[in-house]
Amino acid sequence: MNIRIKVGTVEKESAEILAFYLYEDLPIADDMLTYCDNALHNIVSELIKKKEFVAKLNKTLILPTYGKIPAKRIMLVGLGKKKEVTLDKVRQAAGTTASIVYDIGIGEVTSVIDSIDMPASPEWYQAYTEGCLLALYTFQKYKYVLPEEKKELKTITLLLSHKETSKPAQEGVKHGQIIADAVCFTRDLINTPAQDKTPTILANTAKKLAGETGVHCKIVSTPELKKLGMGGILGVSQGSNQPPKLIILEYNIHAKNQDTIIFVGKGITFDSGGICIKPAKDMDQMKSDMSGAAAVMGAMKAISKMRLPQRIIGLIPCTENMPGSSAIKPGDIVKFYSGKTAEVVNTDAEGRLILADALGYAEDYKPDAVIDLATLTGSCVVALGTIATGMAGNNEELKKRIRIAGEKSWERVWELPLWDEYQEYIKSDIADIKNTGGPHAGAITAACFLSKFTEKYPWVHLDIAGTSWCDKNTAYTRKGASGVGVRLLIQLIQDWTRFS
Ligand code: BES
Ligand code: MN
Ligand code: ZN
């Protein structure tokens, strides 16, 4: 799909369809829409006056033009109230535009961007582009019998009336394309069945990504994991015949006078629960237990293509969690890279075990900030549903930055407390800690566990168990993997200033 920018007016635009954006609390303000309205005997203003079209967010109406203007049809797209417009509403309206044009199968659309009346800064064009491309995502690799053929949506033309806006528009579109490509890459990885994304396959995917982007990639396999004393990753992998891998991606590592930021992603390529096996219902969804890993890879793909200046490192521990005959057993004790030990009370609380090794290893880089993303707890889904990602951490400034990036990207986070009293829940009689804290505050006690390995640097944990998977289509997400975290991390780094 091609997104292009064109400076011009609708008077000469012979498009299949022209998309106009309207606010529910404003009359027609845009010159180009006024022109079309006049040419169409005021049908648009009449419909608005009679409230037959109310421009609520994502509401649409398509009208034929019967040759009165060069374009064959016009589409009205609602944006809601003018004062309440946000980047995400533009992203959504763009997604709605692209999905509807795709559905009617006409292959192209010209969007009259002036009608949005948005600031001429790249981030608005970035959001618009993201919305279009993310809405058109499909995952059909495994279909032999394809659903009814639809005409591909080949071109979206952003029509601007002022030449001066084309520069920020170009920049925003370029960034939006890179970002949407990264999110779709992440979605593909998550939607792929576990059989085709074993830790070894994921490691190869990371190597390929590194080759394409100039990121450095190192794969740590079993012998070296043993040498390093990564008992968490090794322990969880024992029940599977697939060997574990620790993927290390390094971007811009030799940059001078730049902060070092580490992303850690949980890479459980299938979570059966291990010996504490999960119920069969919805177990298939546990192929998505590597969503954190996929988000880190996607974010690094985009950050390297955008050539952002910071040093970024991705640490991605990957393994299956299976109940094979050598599987780790409830009561077993593992020793992590840091030397600390944990009693494995429940083999289904495996994410924190592999993250503990990676977070301990992160310390060696002397990072300025570490952010981990993990589909860590069902408890987080109970607390926040699929709307917000759970956040916990040890540094107010880093939490604030992530909160802001969350609002801008609309991958919002909500903080959970990491108070000392909660740490009591994970005390063990025979090891340093245990891997579950009982039935209460599961998302918090999981974060408490991680906090024992992050004491030496500013750290934020993001529990994406609820946000990584969509049960239904929305304006720009599709059923299945959401790709959450990718846009949040990119936004965070796009806005990054020296951290002290
Ligand atoms: N991968 C799961 C968490 C999860 C649940 C992700 C639902 C996405 C949707 C994690 O490994 C897990 O099993 N957590 C347990 C921990 C418990 C045993 C302490 C949970 O939340 O039930
Ligand atoms: Mn589990
Ligand atoms: Zn898991």
> Distance from the CA of 272 to the center of ligand 2, in angstroms?
7
Residues at the binding site for Mn(2+) are 266, 271, 289, 348, 350
Name the pLDDT band for 147 (thresholds 50, 70, 90): confident
* DSSP summary character for residue 256: S
Instruction: Please choose from 190, 348, 467, 468 the residue to mutate so as to test ligand 1's pocket, defined by most ligand atoms within 8 A of CB.
Output: 348
Percent of the chain with pLDDT over 70: 100
Give the separation between CA 207 and CA 110, rounded to whole angstroms: 39
Name the pLDDT band for 146 (thresholds 50, 70, 90): confident
Give the separation between CA 460 and CA 451, rounded to whole angstroms: 9
Residue pair 355/377 in contact by the 8 Å Cβ criterion: no
Cα 489–chain centre separation? 8
- In degrees, to the nearest 5, what angle opens at C-alpha 497 toward C-alphas 495 and 500? 140
Q: Which residues face 251 on adjacent strands?
A: 312
Atom of ligand 1 nearest to the CA of 273: 13
Atom of ligand 1 nearest to the CA of 380: 21
What would the CATH number be for the domain defined by 180-494?
3.40.630.10
Nearest ligand to residue 390 Cα: 1
Asked if the model's pLDDT at residue 29 lies above 90, the reply is no
Catalytic residue flag (residue 478): no
Asked if the model's pLDDT at residue 157 lies above 90, the reply is yes
- Summarize pLDDT for 362-414 with one digit per residue, the tens: 999 999 999 999 999 999 999 999 999 999 999 999 999 999 999 999 999 99
Name the pLDDT band for 150 (thresholds 50, 70, 90): confident
Residue nearest to atom 9 of ligand 1 (CA): 465
- Summarize pLDDT for 42-57 with one digit per residue, the tens: 999 999 999 999 999 9
Nearest C-alpha neighbor of 446 from the set 331, 359, 363: 359
Nearest ligand to residue 273 Cα: 2
> Distance from the CA of 139 to the center of ligand 3, in angstroms?
23
Catalytic residue flag (residue 498): no
> Distance from the CA of 362 to the center of ligand 1, in angstroms?
24
Give the separation between CA 389 and CA 188, rounded to whole angstroms: 21
Give the separation between CA 397 and CA 368, rounded to whole angstroms: 12
142-154: average pLDDT:
88
> Distance from the CA of 463 to the center of ligand 2, in angstroms?
13
Instruction: Please choose from 376, 380, 386 the residue to mutate so as to test ligand 1's pocket, defined by most ligand atoms within 8 A of CB.
Output: 376
Residue nearest to atom 14 of ligand 1 (CA): 377
CB within 6 Å of ligand 1 — which residues?
Answer: 271, 289, 346, 348-351, 375-379, 381, 436, 442, 465
Residue nearest to atom 17 of ligand 1 (CA): 349
Asked if the model's pLDDT at residue 162 lies above 80, the reply is yes
Q: Which CATH superfamily is domain 2-161 in?
A: Leucine Aminopeptidase, subunit E, domain 1 (3.40.220.10)
Instruction: Report the interhelical angle of 122-135 vs 87-104 (nearest 10°).
Output: 40
Q: What single letter denotes the amino acid at residue 289?
A: D
- Summarize pLDDT for 453-468 with one digit per residue, the tens: 999 999 999 999 999 9
Q: Where in the chain is the domain with CATH 3.40.630.10?
A: 180-494
Atom of ligand 1 nearest to the CA of 445: 19
Residue pair 337/357 in contact by the 8 Å Cβ criterion: yes
Residue nearest to atom 22 of ligand 1 (CA): 378
Nearest ligand to residue 376 Cα: 1
Q: Where in the chain is the domain with CATH 3.40.220.10?
A: 2-161
Atom of ligand 1 nearest to the CA of 346: 18
> Distance from the CA of 433 to the center of ligand 3, in angstroms?
19
| Predicted pLDDT of residue 301 | 98
Catalytic-role residue among 82, 174, 218, 278: 278
Atom of ligand 1 nearest to the CA of 442: 19
Instruction: Provide the whole-model pTM.
Output: 0.98
| Predicted pLDDT of residue 148 | 80
Nearest C-alpha neighbor of 318 from the set 378, 265, 362: 265
Q: What single letter denotes the amino acid at residue 400?
A: K
Residue nearest to atom 13 of ligand 1 (CA): 348
Give the separation between CA 377 and CA 348, rounded to whole angstroms: 10
| Predicted pLDDT of residue 500 | 80
For residue 81, the tally of other CB atoms under 10 A from its CB is 14
| Predicted pLDDT of residue 21 | 98
- Mean pLDDT (the chain) is 97
> Distance from the CA of 400 to the center of ligand 3, in angstroms?
27
Give the separation between CA 479 and CA 106, rounded to whole angstroms: 24
Atom of ligand 1 nearest to the CA of 289: 1
Name the pLDDT band for 37 (thresholds 50, 70, 90): very high
Asked if the model's pLDDT at residue 149 lies above 80, the reply is no
470-484: average pLDDT:
97
Round to the nearest angstrom and report the end-to-end CA distance of the chain.
42
Percent of the chain with pLDDT over 90: 97
Asked if the model's pLDDT at residue 39 lies above 80, the reply is yes
| Predicted pLDDT of residue 471 | 94
Q: In whole angstroms, how large is the CA radius of gyration of the chain?
A: 25
Strand ranges (E), 416-477: 433-434, 459-463, 469-470
309-321: average pLDDT:
98
Catalytic-role residue among 197, 301, 352, 401: 352
- Summarize pLDDT for 225-236 with one digit per residue, the tens: 999 999 999 999
Residues at the binding site are 266, 271, 289, 348, 350
> Distance from the CA of 205 to the center of ligand 3, in angstroms?
21
Per the document, the length of the chain is: 500
